[in-house]
Amino acid sequence: MDHFQYRDGVLHAEDVAVPDIAAAVGTPFYCYSTATMTRHYQVLAGSLDGTGARICYAVKANSNQAVIRTFVELGAGADVISGGELRRAMAAGAAPDTIVFAGPGKTRDELSQALAAGIYQFNVESEPELRLLSAVAAEMGKVAPVSIRVNPDVDAGTHEKITTGRKQNKFGIPIDRAMEIFDLGASLPGLAMLGVAVHIGSQITDLAPFEESFDRALKLIDELRAAGHEVSRCNLGGGLGIPYGGEAPPPPAEYGKMVKRLTANRQLDLVLEPGRVLVGNAGILVAGVIHEKHEGRRFIIIDAAMNDLIRPAMYDSWHDIVPVRAPAPGAALTEADVVGPICESGDTLAKGRHMPPLAPNDLIAVRSAGAYGAVMASTYNTRPLVPEVLVHGGQFAVIRPRQSIDDLLALDKPPPWLAATLE
């Protein structure tokens, strides 16, 4: 469920008409719904009631500080992948002791930054990282809280580019080496070996891979405890999918029921790292129609492009696309490709969609764009980053302003031998 609905034939974000936002900020723009994010968080948290699970919002899904703050105020911590995301999470109000630092390539500086902040946990993904974290912590006189991220060699059944739990993926330590790595960590200074972490991918629409990976992680914890390691934490990662098109992911209630069944009576502090499931359906990308082109095919050319939303080009992903003003009853729907103005054939947001006639300046909305949309955007073709807008009931606010061409040009610093040419 989301809070983008038609009222009197006009798409609304909660109680705000989308054309009113477009008139104020121009197109294209991202629009997020506070009510949708709140509902999704509360449904997931409710499904885990009684487990004591800590929900750490995966900042990589949408890193706008207003979005992070929304989840912090609901009770979430943060899952970060870089020093920059750590700063964002803390700037948005996340307490350091609610932050998990994941990712396979943490630098010395990032480890130092996180140790100085006093984060809840490092998800360590390799032996070299473990040794580096030990060295940095010892130098700083700190003790780093560690969970070892294991690779359970489970196929999540998701897109090749977002699966992370198979042995050929770059993530985690092979589960059959986990005991060895735990023993090593226990012998190194500056480390507190506290837990096991597992995360097998994103946009997973079947509970079976989750259950298989969780079961392997929990059995490992039993083995570690039997060997004398005092394991008190289990990080179950994220990855629960959303319905972009024809997918039918399990509801959070079923996911929560499975987590409860597998972890009952295990005396573990649980951590989850949801991202897409909280923000994906809470956002839309609104674009204006430039014109239609009919040359053997019908092309609807819009002012949003692959630099604004790269998921269709990168993952062949499906996003529902709807007119912001509902078509007149009986309007003919004909097949069209929805494309952007970038000089790439890959700049196609959708192919073969049945769309009503659209005139220049009409508005369309690309749905389920709240996750991995704005956060993956670029300035390719010198196209400035578009604004992000947050709606709360009948109010809306720009939470990231539109970049200007001048902003982009100012980032270029010509060398002395070219300065005269560029002035």
Which residues are known to be catalytic? 343
CA angle 131-233-215, nearest 5°? Answer: 105
Which tokens hold the place of 314? 């990168």
Pairing of strands 4-7, 10-13: antiparallel
Instruction: Give whole-number Cα distances, 40 to 80, 289, 306, in Å.
Output: 20, 31, 27
At position 114, the amino acid (one-letter code) is A
- Closest to 262 (Cα-Cα) out of 296, 206, 213, 327: 213
Peptide bond into 28 cis (omega under 30): yes
* Cα–Cα separations (whole angstroms), residue 342 to 118, 363, 378: 44, 19, 12
Determine phi and psi for 361, rounding to 5 degrees.
Answer: 80, -5
Cβ distance 29 to 22 under 8 Å? yes
Neighbouring C-beta atoms of residue 21, cutoff 10 Å: 23
End-to-end CA, the chain: 53
